[in-house]
Copies of this chain bind each other. A is one copy, B any other.
Amino acid sequence: MSADGLPMVVPAQDLPARVRIHEVGARDGLQNEKMTVPTEVKAEFIRRLAGAGLTTIEATSFVHPKWVPQLADAEQLFPLLGDLDVELPVLVPNQRGLDRALALGARRIAVFASATESFAKANLNRTVDESLAVFDPVVRQAKDAGGHVRGYVSMCFGDPWEGAVPLHQVARVCKALLDMGCDELSLGDTIGVATPGHVLELLSLLNEEGVPTNVIGVHFHDTYGQALANTYAALEHGVTTIDASAGGLGGCPYAKSATGNLATEDLVWMLQGLGIDTGVDLGRLVATSVWMAAHLGRPSPSRTVRALSHKEQ
């Protein structure tokens, strides 16, 4: 540890020089919070995340308000962020969601697919193929509008109903999303069960099936404490897009034991220690998560947030 509360920088061989963090706290994190967060607090949260140096901040979801009440204010929130010089992806579940997002000027779009039938049914109320059929015109239209589209693939490493998930099933969904025109993928370990060999095997299979590493992002959960070890393995494979949630906000409401996204601060600690550039000011990020945790009335589950905020007191 250096005197300023940052890790000592010691690079490891053959890792990427830069990583883009796809910050999901404001969408994936908050959507799993029971307490309704006021629109202006969300805007301020995103503003502070941008101030801390995050350059891709998923802002909200244009899902039907009935499904995710926390994000029912997407129409009010998104216009408040117009002056920010960062990417602000929004999730859209279907054509109606895309129409709403495009009407507000959003051009960075995300769709949320499932690698398993059980989760597609539980989360989307459709089969995997039915959901892909819904996304197909959505992705094409977003691309036609000049947009950039991310395809989430959830339950890539395990499913609470089905157990193990065959890798070829994940690859099939990934390729379908790319065929529609998705610019990038996010491989989700929605219930947090993956270990590094599993991660590397999926990445290798995707490469063999023609999916290049540079379109692959990884989205790990810390349910079993594995997220950062999996991230390190993904870095060794060459992955440069990593999803994380400020303060470790969020989880998955449909998977009881899924208790937490990888905390952005824990990720940044590791990346800074490895000398990998992220552009993030860890102190400002921790302060933002402490501020948000106060709004939510409970401490951040991020170990780095706890260690560094404790240190300041």
A residues at B contact (CB < 8 Å): 1-3, 7-8, 10-12, 15, 157-160, 163-164, 191-198, 200-201, 222-226, 228-229, 231-233, 256-257, 259-260, 263, 266, 269-270, 272-275, 302-304, 306-308, 310-311
Contacts and interface: CB of A to CB of B under 8 A. Distances in A.
A256 to B, nearest CB: 7
A224 B307 contact: yes
Given A1-B191, A225-B228, A197 B274 contact: yes
Nearest to A269: B224
Main secondary structure of the interface of A (DSSP, over half): loop
Contact of A259 (B15, B195, B303): B303
B10 A201 contact: yes
Contact of A224 (B193, B195, B266): B266
B12 A197 contact: yes
Given A12-B197, A195-B273, A226-B270, 19 more contacts: A7-B158, A7-B193, A7-B195, A8-B164, A8-B193, A10-B195, A193-B273, A195-B272, A196-B232, A222-B225, A223-B303, A226-B228, A229-B229, A229-B231, A257-B307, A257-B308, A257-B310, A259-B303, A259-B307
